[in-house]
A and B are shown apart, each in its own frame.
Chain A
Amino acid sequence: MKFAFAFLAGLFVVALPAAAQIERPRLGYVLDSRGDLRPVMGEPASAALGDPVGVVAISFACSLKLCLAKTDAAVVAFIPDRRGRQQGVAASPAFVTPCATCAGPALIALDDPASTTGVPGAWIYFQTAHQLARWHEGILDAIDFAPGGVVLSLRATTGGFDYAVARGRVGRKAGVVWIEHYSASDGRITVIVDSAAVLDSPGATRAVMLFDGGILLAARDHVILRRPDGREMTFPLAGPKRFQAAGNGYVEIAVPNGLWLLRTDPGREQLVLLPGVHE
């Protein structure tokens, strides 16, 4: 197919070919009820789950450039296929980093994919071992980090990461959640938001997720999306218990009997139910 392409009239006129490459869009990945990581294809409200990619994970985070999954005793990284083709990655993951002492779930904060031309790095907080690590190209470097409390979420930032930490009573009535910043260069911690600012939504502490576009808070029967400028959106949803980064602009929300996907792009927010794994 050829068509005339004229730019900067008077400076140059070029006739160049252009072709459209058309494929199924991949929204991201989710962890199904069996623990299989599966791609989510299509359009949110009519999404389809692809075949398991071959990674049985406990926790994960995905962006456009990297998926990092925490398995029983390793951190597995792979480069997402843009088209979400049903290829297994277990046989040829980009990196498998054994980690015998980091059992249990992990909080994962991937670096902004736009900040690097290579494989982005990530911050990982192993929740059982209360151990922070920096992951980069298959290497895990332990970092001394003791914020005092229960770390709920990490968000990578330039020069470090933000984290949400609950202190005091933790659980159904966690009373004090702070958002702080960790500086990678000198290990300094800075308070960004104190508890009052986080918890002005009653009961909104079942789960917390920091992400580029703000904060997600889980309450008993709804999810709150709070933007950096303080604007809030509420999505009715019974029993949200876990947030995970499904992909750019998408968050997986696990509830007791299903998986939901929240689109977080400003102006395009949408909460949809994901298909069961029967397909």
Chain B
Amino acid sequence: MSLFSVAAQAQIALSTLIGTTETPVTSSYTFAPIGPYGTEDATFVATNTGGIPVTVCNYGVFGIGFKLDNSPTPPVVLAAGRSVDFFVEFTGGPLGNYSANLAVNYVTNPAVCSSPQTSTPPVALQGTVTQAATVSVAAPCTGPDSQGIISFGRIAQTSQVACTFTLANPYTQELSVSPIALTGAAFQAPLPSQPAIPAGQSITFAVTFTAATATTFNGTLIAGVQTFYLTGTGYLTPLPAPVLSFDTTTLRSGEQHTLTAALPFPASTAATGTITMTFTPWTNAIADDATVRFVATSKRVIGFSVAQGATALLLNTNNKSLDPTSTIFSTGTSAGTITFTVDAGAIGISGSAKTTAIIGPAPVAVTAASATSRTADLDVGVTGFDNTYTAGAMTFTFYDRSGNTLGAPIQADFTAPFHLFYQGDTGGSTFLMLVSFPVLGHVASVGSVDVQLTNAAGSATVQRLKFP
């Protein structure tokens, strides 16, 4: 095959791609200068300009300081008019000039790559490694890494962070670093006005990153022949831990209270979330008390929202209503700890998101009592709750119509039936207890009764419960 025929049959044309602009490559391509051990990439495009498909068998890069980088693995079949991008990296090395040859080898269909191949005209690759400053950054920044990336890390939205950049001259003569420039509005610095760095000296300047919003910001620092990529991320500022408060300082069983919530200082951003109640019983006699809850919804969670700049959390926004009754919660009828946990979702909470309220053990609370008599029986009814779940021991003292004690007080122990009653129940400790006393004699002479109920927290007494 003659040279003429090769040229006549050439179907692969090479070009470079910068951004979206393709530029034909004829006989050479010169990389931008780099500093020692820096890198510079170029994108080449191999286009099938013929009328039949070709198969690219390999991309030949021959020479020190250049290499093929992250390119499609041959063989690559290109239909007529189609192209393939491949990448060449000038990796350089010590100071000096570098060169290499680039060619693309291919066959036309139906030939395969084991057949004799055709080469594109060789392209002379040229690169220069020049003197460059050594760039370093101080904490909290990190880098530059092998890609030349300098990271400012993650900071709260609207906040900023500054890092000290150092450009050092490792050479024995003065080094001119020009240009020195920053791109990216999120990165600002008073750049050195004197780009010349004396031998063995360095210059420093502070670059400030400002995260105006919760997103990732990018920029570049150009220092002579070197380009460094700056990156930093802003994140939503967490809500300060809300202060939850109740309409009383002491919570007891059998009560309803109102929950309010406020931030210690204004929210830097609007937020929504939930406040969830959990209950941990004081005793292991029960697993839970389901009556500890927000009453209006019978649930243990309530939504909230807070506007940017506000301190008040608006509760119950899930229901699109600010009905104040929705913040009323029941303390239930069990001793234990109620924990309110604030969840602000992705924004998060800075500080403790939990507020606890202790419901202390208390003597049996009697909410109603009755005494009735039948022909030969006396009935005593007691309604109440025992938030310790330990009730059972009782004393009944009967009186006649004149208020005189009738015999000795009667001791009773109903611990077992109370245990049975509460077993496996999570509905709280409320109870209605009915005790019947069969009597031989004239029941009408019995005027009243004292009922003393004892639990782990003490005793409660219903005094002079009158029989009709």
Encode A43-61 as 1/0 by CB contact (under 8 A) with B. 1111110000000000000
Are A22 and B418 in contact (CB-based, < 8 A)?
yes
Interface stretch, picked from B156-164, B236-244, B426-434, is B426-434
A273: interface (CB < 8 Å): yes
| CB of B18 within 8 Å of the partner chain | no
B433 and A83 within 8 A (CB):
no
Q: With A14-B440, A14-B441, A268-B367 as known contacts, state yes or no: A7 contacts B406, CB within 8 Å.
A: yes
Contact B437 A5 (CB under 8 A): yes
* Set of chain A residues within 8 Å of B289, measured between Cβ atoms: 46
Establish whether residues A8 and B406, one from each chain, have CB atoms under 8 Å apart when the complex forms. yes
| CB <8 Å contact, B298 and A276 | yes
Contact in complex: B407, A8 (CB < 8 Å): yes
Partner of B412, one of A18, A42, A47, A48: A18
On whether A42 and B333 interact (CB within 8 A), knowing A7-B441, A8-B407, the answer reads yes
B contact residues around A45 at 8 Å (CB): 254-256, 330-331
- How far apart are the CA atoms of A82 and B381 in the complex, in Å? 12
Q: In the complex, are the beta carbons of B254 and A46 less than 8 A apart?
A: yes
For residue A83, which residues in chain B have a CB less than 8 angstroms away from its CB? 432
Query: Closest residue to B446 on the A side, CB-wise?
Result: A7
Is B358 in the interface zone, CB < 8 Å from A? no
Does A146 belong to the interface (CB within 8 Å)? no
Quick one: closest B residue to A260, CB to CB?
A: B325
- CB atoms of B437 and A272 under 8 A apart: no
Check B434–A20 contact: CB distance below 8 A: yes
In the bound assembly, the distance between CA atoms of A21 and B412 in angstroms comes to: 13
CA distance A140 to B221 in the complex (A): 95
For the complex, what is the distance from the CA of A67 to the CA of B236, rounded to whole Å? 58
Which of B291, B297, B400, B411 has most chain A Cβ within 10 Å? B291
> From B255, which residue of chain A is reached at the shortest CB distance?
A45
Contacts of A21 in B (CB 8 A): 433-436
Q: How large is the interface on A (under 10, 10 to 19, 20 to 34, 35 or more residues)?
A: 35 or more
Shortest Cβ distance from residue B50 to the other chain A in the assembled complex, whole angstroms:
74
Whether B256 pairs with A272 at a CB distance below 8 angstroms is yes
A5/B410 in contact, CB under 8 A: yes
Chain B residue numbers with a CB within 8 Å of A18 are 410, 412, 435-438
List chain A residues, Cβ under 8 A from B365: 43
Contacts of B408 in A (CB 8 A): 4, 6
Q: B367: shortest Cβ distance to chain A, in Å?
A: 6
Q: How far is the CA of A83 from the CA of B323 in the complex (A)?
A: 33
Complex contact A279–B298 (CB within 8 A) = yes
Interface size class of B (residues with CB under 8 A): 35 or more
| A14 and B439 contact, CB distance less than 8 A | yes
Which residue on B lies nearest to A259, using beta carbons? B296
Q: Is there an interface contact between A3 and B411, defined as CB atoms closer than 8 Å?
A: yes
Digitize B262-294: 1 where CB-to-A-CB distance is under 8 Å, 0 elsewhere: 000000000000000000000000000111110
The digit string for B373-405, where 1 denotes a CB below 8 A from any CB of A, is 000000000011100000000000010100000
Give, as a whole number of angstroms, the nearest-CB distance from B279 to chain A: 11
Cα separation A14 to B406 with both chains bound (whole Å): 12
Confirm or deny: A17 has a beta carbon within 8 angstroms of a beta carbon on chain B.
Answer: yes
Question: Given the known A-B contacts A8-B445, A19-B436, A278-B298, are A46 and B428 also in contact in the complex, defined by CB atoms under 8 Å?
Answer: yes
Residue interface mask A243-279, B partner, CB < 8 A = 1:
0000001000000011000000100100011111111
Contact code string B217-242 (vs A, CB < 8 Å = 1, else 0):
00000000000000000000000000
Cβ of A1 under 8 Å from chain B: yes
- Do the beta carbons of A273 and B428 come within 8 Å of each other? no
Which residues of the partner chain B approach A1 to less than 8 Å between Cβ atoms?
412-414
Is B421 at the interface (CB under 8 A from chain A)? yes
Residues of chain A contacted by B291 (CB below 8 angstroms): 42, 46-48
A17 vs B435: C-alpha distance when bound (angstroms):
10
Q: Within 8 Å CB of A82, what residues of B?
A: 432
B299 within 8 A of A: yes
Closest A-B pairs by Cβ, 6 of them: A6-B407, A46-B291, A25-B432, A20-B414, A279-B298, A42-B430
Q: List 25 A-B contacts (CB under 8 A).
A: A1-B412, A4-B410, A6-B406, A12-B440, A16-B437, A16-B438, A18-B412, A19-B436, A22-B431, A22-B433, A22-B434, A25-B431, A41-B430, A42-B291, A42-B333, A45-B256, A45-B330, A45-B331, A46-B256, A257-B325, A265-B368, A273-B325, A273-B328, A275-B293, A276-B297
Chain A interfacial positions (CB closer than 8 Å to B): 1, 3-9, 11-14, 16-26, 41-48, 82-83, 249, 257-258, 265, 268, 272-279
